[in-house]
Structure 1
Amino acid sequence: MKILRRGSIAAAGLLLLAASVAPAGAAQDDNDRMLYEARGTDSAQRTAIARSGADIWGTSDGVTTFSASAALAKSLQAKGIDVERVGDVEDLLAARNPDMATSADEFPAGDEGYHTYGELTEVLQRADSEHGDIASLSSAGSSYQGRALHLMKISDNVAQDEDEPEVLFTCNQHAREHLTTEMCLRIVERFTDEYGTDPTVTELVNTREIYVIPSVNPDGSEYDIEGGRYKGWRKNRQGYYGTDLNRNWGYKWGCCGGSSGSPYSDTYRGTSAFSAPETRAVASFVESRVVGGSQQIKAHIDFHTYSELVLWPYGYTYSDTTDTMSREEARRFQEVGRKLAASNGYTPQQSSDLYITDGSVNDWMWAEHGILSLTFEMYPASGGGIGGFYPPDERIEPETRRNDEAVDILLTEAGAQP
């Protein structure tokens, strides 16, 4: 059984893609935000794009899509990166959702199949009410603006803390990645509605304790659809510019050029590790699962969009092995990652093969707690542009169902000896 590797979390507690005007002193004007593609990129070039302050949206087959100012794109061209302009971000956003929602707090017209925070809450409460014998709704804590970070536990003896492998699924760290919330909702509904009728579901619920946090960033998610139109917002709503939650985790925070210290950047890591209340709350929940010196959560997936990738630690270094990742442990990540990818058609790779990141959830989960933690970058694989973050709601069912087998595989692997 994997034991806790480190002590407790540190005590420390985008430039806007929207059309609003930034305060004086902002690094660049939002109206200068353009969408670009860089072709033939390798990991080093993608890291250079990320470190420049550009906001990488997705990558596939060497084509990296990112948003940046014209001046920044020109500087990347000067470094030998093949950059081609796709269009103005604001124009592309307007074209993606020309019709506003009928209500200011709903998804744009045509995308009503996605769940707002209020609708998400209702679905989770209904699952708790209708399946109270196997499902229990609570909260991991609160967001910056005070919204509950819903936490659903699913197990056959849900009121008991059984000696069973625990698995955590988290979604929506990045606000605009709404498809991920739907992924977590599918996990909740599948493992409650199909319990007792589907043999695989029943066996896993009977032998595991499953935890699901469908929205780690509810404030940002609600802001992204505020006014009935998408804004392309990534971060939380802490302060004017927000913090990138997936650069705010405590392991190797800000170490390696894989995040930004500028509040204007989409990868702003915050003032300190766990300075965002959302990451601090989820980390505290994970730490609460250390029982008798042993971490009960054995496996974890953090869902993102887009690029159709399965990623494993580490993101902060290109090295496969470190003082906290032995050759055998790295091999297990590779084997499990490839097995997961074979089930859904994604591409498996180490996180840093995409580009260097630091302060990420997967790195922290593994280094601090020995949790088999991976990231899924969901649909689409490429050519997403604006639509990569905002696929039509008709894609919700097939793209979430696509990961059913992968979810089952991870739940099974959680019971395997490391």
Structure 2
Amino acid sequence: MSAGPPGEPAAAAAARPELPHQYAVSGPATPAERTALTTTGATIDEVHARAVVVTADRAQAAAVRHLGYRLRRLPDPPATRPVSPGTRVGDFPAGYTKYHTYDEATKEIDALVARYPALVSKKVIGTSQEGRDILALKVSRNVTEDEAEPEVLFTAHQHAREHLTVEMALYLLGEFTSKYGSDPRITKMLDSREIWIIPDLNPDGGAYDIAAGSFRSWRKNRQPTPGSRSVGTDLNRNWDFKWGCCGGSSSSPSSEIYRGPSAASAPEVQVVANFVRSRIVGGTQQIKAAIDFHTYSELVLWPFGFTDDDTGPGMTRDDHDAFATIGKSMAASNGYTPEQSSELYITDGAIDDWLWGDQKVFAYTFEMYPSSAGAGGFYPKDTVIPRETTRNREAVLRLLEVADCPYRAIGKEAQYCKAG
């Protein structure tokens, strides 16, 4: 246990929960070696040619060392240190106050709905473990009508400490509404698409991460685990497709990548999965494409994560080629690195694998700014918000524009999208 701040009673320091830390790990050079690291319960945050950065608690760090690797602890973000007396709790620390709390985000959303009632509508699609509303915002011309238009889904904040993703969702809401009628591309998309934005999949975890007035580096939701003192399921290992299949998640409740006791056991996953299924109309899934926003590492990822096969069961060569072509196009616009998810390491129970494997949605994961822990890691200062959300504008528009027929990206529109 690290020492407390000057003047803090020893008992208070001892009572504070242990915070995980980031470590540079030299040596792992292949997806298999990186996947083996995750068996310790640590999460991999960055991947380099022959090294990774992990987040781990003391036991997990010891387990990584037991595998034969040397660890170098990285500096903690200043805002994860214990706060001084009088600090506002339940809010972002100094230097981060332009990030939105759950309540602040909800107020901003309500203001947009009131200002643009013909373009955006709000729907409560369910509640989190602790009873917070999970919202889905629909953006489209004639927003109150369910038209026969391709639908595109944007989701954010599965992982609690990834607060920049909520800002990304709010940016898209503001951009789509305020630029309709003046920006030709946005106007065309709202005239011909139905856009869904779920800005906060993990409101409980996000609130917990800032509840003390400093960051806790919390990742999971806040669901108690029966028979364990550990709290939380990793939402992005809990989806009901290849759940727990392939060494890409953990059965240990103390793990950062704990997959939960059963597939879709997390209430937040159930809510969003049920919403996606509700978009099946006449036997056809109306959602054609999706992006799930995360931080960090500046990556555009596509399925599958559960296998290192570049097609895998349920994905044809044409499917793969369309995924890769669109992914590379989006990455060319934002400067991210495009790759199949499993090129990093194996994951199972992830949302983009479920969206494609179960629903045949062309689903991507964006790992946003920064590229490294040294540039802010999970906690970049709020001054980057305008630049790093705007950075993805073109990529989002490119996905929207191809969503009616993703196979057009590989020149096979006639084969796949003109039937009947």
User: Given the two structures, how large is their TM-score scaled by the length of structure 2?
Assistant: 0.88
Identity across matched positions, percent: 49
Does 2:346 correspond to 1:353?
Answer: no
Alignment of 1:15-414 (within 5 A): 30=18, 33-39=20-26, 41-69=29-57, 72-73=60-61, 75-77=63-65, 79-86=67-74, 92=77, 102-239=87-224, 240-384=230-374, 387-414=376-403
Q: Is the 8 A contact 1:56 1:66 kept in 2?
A: yes
SS at 1:388 equivalent: coil
Q: Which deviates more from structure 2 when the two are superposed, residues 322-331 or residues 51-60?
A: 51-60
Secondary structure at 1:364 match in 2: helix
User: What are the Cα deviations for residues 206-264 of structure 1, in whole angstroms up to 9, with x where unaligned?
Assistant: 11000000100000001100021111000011115111100000000011111111111
Q: Distance in 2 between matches of 1:395 and 1:96?
A: 21
Q: Which runs of 5+ in 2 are unaligned?
A: 1-12, 225-229, 408-420
Cα drift, residue 286 of structure 1? 0.3
For residues 289 and 259 of structure 2, what CA distance do their matches in structure 1 show? 25
| Stretch of structure 1 that moved more, 244-253 or 135-144 | 135-144
Whichever residue aligns with residue 412 of structure 1, its letter is: E
Aligned-partner Cα distance in 1 for 2:271–2:50? 36
Q: Distance in 2 between matches of 1:302 and 1:405?
A: 16
Instruction: State the match for 1:416 in structure 2.
Output: 405
The code of the aligned residue for 2:285 comes to Q
**Structure 2 SS opposite 1:111:** coil
Cα contact 1:101–1:107 (8 A) shared by 2: no
Contact 2:165/2:295, CA 8 A, preserved across alignment:
yes
CA distance in 1, matches of 2:78, 2:252: 25
Q: Report the number of matched residues.
A: 389
CA shift, 1:96, in A, is 6.3
> 1:363, 1:103 → 2: CA distance?
40
Deviations, residues 309-365 of structure 1 (Å, cap 9, x unaligned): 000000011011222011111111111111110010000010011110100000000
What's the Cα RMSD here? 2.1
* Aligned-partner SS, 2:364: strand
- Aligned counterpart, 1:16: none
CA distance in 2, matches of 1:379, 1:232: 17
Contact kept, 8 Å, 1:167 with 1:210, in 2: the verdict is yes
How big is each residue's C-alpha offset from its partner over 1:184-203, in whole Å with a ceiling of 9 and x where there is no partner? 00000000011111111111
Query: What amino acid is aligned across from residue 313 of structure 2 in structure 1?
Result: D
The whole-number CA distance in structure 2 between the counterparts of 1:148 and 1:50 is 32
| Distance of 1:203 and 1:161 partners within structure 2 | 17
Q: List per-residue Cα deviations over 1:70-114 (Å, max 9, x = no partner).
A: 564455345454533325x5xx55566866885322111221100
Cα deviation code 1:55-84 (max 9, x no counterpart): 222334544111235564455345454533
- Distance across 2 between alignment mates of 1:165 and 1:95: 43
- Name the SS for the 1:349 alignment partner: strand
Instruction: Describe the superposition over 1:253-302 as per-residue Cα deviations: whole angstroms up to 9, x where unpaired.
Output: 01111111111111111111111110000000000000111100000000
SS of alignment partner, residue 141 of structure 2:
coil
Question: TM-score of the superposition, structure 1-length normalised?
Answer: 0.88
- Hey, what's the Cα distance between the residues in 2 that align with 1:181 and 1:330? 29
**In 2: Cα distance, 1:417 partner to 1:226 partner:** 42
Give the equivalent residue in structure 2 for 1:12: none
The answer for unaligned runs of 5 or more in structure 1 is 1-18, 23-28
Q: Aligned equivalents of 1:223 and 1:106: distance in 2?
A: 10
Aligned with 1:337: secondary structure? helix
Q: CA, structure 1 residues 100+377, in 2 after alignment: closer, same or farther (shift >3 Å)?
A: farther
Q: Per the alignment, in what secondary structure is the counterpart of residue 275 of structure 1?
A: coil
Q: Cα distance 1:38–1:296, how it changes in 2: closer, same or farther (>3 A)?
A: same
Structure 2 vs 1, CA of residues 382 and 97 (structure 1 numbering), >3 Å: closer, same or farther?
farther
Deviation (angstroms), 1:34 = 4.1
Mark the CA change 1:379 to 1:97 in structure 2 (over 3 Å): closer, same or farther.
farther
